[in-house]
Amino acid sequence: RMSRHAKKLRDHDINPCLAETDATTKCMDDNNYKKDMCTDYFLKYKNCRTFWHGIMMQRKRNGVKPEMPSAEERKKILESVG
């Protein structure tokens, strides 16, 4: 049984970097947990977190709720930035 925190992390509307998280985990599993083999995955994850954190902070400053856009909204944001 998953904790409430673990469930949140698996929720596409809450965690914008779920695909990057899963890809990083898979890379680590596939490469016997040698971090240097998964550098690209860590970088993609970090870039994802940085990007969405910036969006979240901007929405917070502008009083937009929820601060993290839904999965559907995020898709539109990503399409608009190319």
pTM for the whole structure: 0.84
Distances (CA, A) of 55 to 6, 34, 60: 23, 32, 9
pLDDT in tens, 21-71: 999 999 999 999 999 999 999 999 999 999 999 999 999 999 999 999 999
* Structural domain harbouring 75: 4-80
Q: What integer pLDDT is reported at residue 58 of this predicted model?
A: 96
Q: What integer pLDDT is reported at residue 28 of this predicted model?
A: 97
Looking at the structure of the chain, the number of domains it has is 1
User: Which tokens hold the place of 18?
Assistant: 């779920």
Q: What is the mean pLDDT of residues 6-33?
A: 91
Under 8 Å CB-to-CB from 67, ≥6 apart: which residues? 56, 59, 60
Query: Does residue 1 carry a pLDDT above 80?
Result: no
8 A C-beta contact, residue 52 and residue 68: yes
Q: What integer pLDDT is reported at residue 18 of this predicted model?
A: 94
